[in-house]
Amino acid sequence: MTFVLLAEQVLNGLQFGVMLFLMAAGLTLIFGVMGLINLAHGSLYMVGAFAAAATAAATGSFLLALAASLVAAAAAGALMELVVIRRLYGRDHLDQVLATFALILIFSEGTRWLFGSFPLYLDIPDALSGPVTLPFGIEYPRYRLAIIGIGLAVATALYLLITRTRIGIQIRAGEEDREMIAALGVDISRLYTLVFALGAALAGFAGALIGAIQSVQVGMGEPVLILAFVVIVIGGIGSVKGALVGSVLVGLTDTLGRALLPAVFGLFMEPSAATTVGASLASMAIYLLMAAVLILRPRGLYGSA
């Protein structure tokens, strides 16, 4: 494997990780502040992608499509919180898993009912299409570079939001001690709706960004959802920093596993068997990573007690 190919694969892993971060950040924030496991987070990702595809088809503008994804997912998230989720805060995790599992069924089939069974069309804007040449002659798609940039910008913005703003202080206080901030006169139910909508908007935004290079279809949220859970568990649930580190770790493990494992097995096995075994192991690699992290650190890398 040449240096250029390896460098390109590392970039791919990074980009995959950044995309996972957009999903995982909302998930971990919601867990950190409200103590809620939300399996339906993937449905919000799907809502964002569908809203973007519909808007792009109607207006032809990618920027409007991105805006629509933010608005639609935030609205869907707020609605979800007001109608269902707020009844679940006091419940145990089992009830939360079940109720949000039910929400997945409702959202998936509801979307299919609205938009039909065929995948929708959403393409990247002309300004970002095609490859660029990076130093050392690495050719890399401009759009994927943009995703890396956007993801890092979102991570920075989130960091500033949490450390520098009034809302952020309330969020941090909520993570530390829920009764205390209520006693301090913060409207806690409004804060919760806001945090949930923020997490939803991030997921929807990710759905729109990724929908442009993948397939916009019903059920697209589920594989990403499971990966996002792996990410926040590795990072430590509730920690945004953990989500960032976990995303990059999972992105790199998955991408490099797919790229390298078949070659590694090829050293001592016949080619066709090596590709099969390598591919099988690569598809299990992130779960192995997660099991290993949890066995060594049962609360994840940055998890608090």
Check residue 188 and give left, alpha or beta (phi > 0: left; psi -120 to 50: alpha). Answer: alpha
Q: 48 with 73: CB under 8 angstroms?
A: yes
Instruction: Name which of 208 and 224 has its Cβ closer to another protein.
Output: 224
**Residue 189 Cβ, how far from another protein at the closest point, in Å?**
17
Residue 75 or 84 with smaller CB distance to another protein? 84
Q: Which is nearer to another protein, 66 or 212 (CB)?
A: 212
Minimum distance of another protein from residue 222's CB (angstroms): 9
Closer to another protein by CB, 146 or 186: give it: 146
Secondary structure of residue 140 in the 3-state scheme: strand
Give the C-alpha separation, 90 to 35, whole Å: 9
DSSP state of 119: P
Q: Would you say 41 or 258 has its CB closer to another protein?
A: 258
Q: What's the min distance (Å) between Cβ of 130 and another protein?
A: 6
**Interatomic CA distance for residues 196 and 144, integer angstroms:** 27
Task: Return the SS3 of 270.
Answer: coil
Q: Shortest Cβ distance from residue 228 to another protein (Å)?
A: 11
DSSP 8-state class, residue 216:
B
Q: Which residue has the tokens 């995982």?
A: 24
Q: Report the Cα–Cα distance between both ends of the chain, in Å, rounded.
A: 43
